[in-house]
Structure 1
């Protein structure tokens, strides 16, 4: 029974952090999470390398992806719980962490 409770708590915690991260993205739709920017930039480099060899990167890589929860979000949740930070302040700190969306060559 204790293992079941631990699994449920882990799943609920993950889902709650995921909701926080996704809500922060919807509050500023023109901004993205730094890990998404890093992924896009790496994908662009990969595409350029493929074009040099007359190949292409699978277009499915350019679609929306399910990203992992960032370590920043996990630490922010932990700190918010420890310090008793309000939900509004917590969400503001997540939104403040977002960055501008990169403009890729040949936007997909």
Structure 2
């Protein structure tokens, strides 16, 4: 059985105190995939937290996976993680805005 995105959201909020968090269920796009047969879902998470400051990308992903440990592998089969500090996220968005503006 796949996890409810609200459960993923609640666990990440409790563990990592994010200033921004989105959880997207991509399970439908993976129907028929061998991993989907076990019932675990496919999710994408964008999380912004100051708790990531000073940590490598790998360490940030471990922090997210640790927060969701109880859901693997029965409820989550695959998880794509984008993890930023507030400053990194703001810089990323500013860069995206500049790119969009230069294309118009």
- TM bucket (normalised to shorter chain) is under 0.3
Higher relative contact order (CA 8 A, sep 6+): 1
TM-score (norm 2): 0.26
Task: Determine which structure has more spread, i.e. the larger CA radius of gyration.
Answer: 1
TM-score (norm 1): 0.25
Report the structure, 1 or 2, having the larger helix content: 1
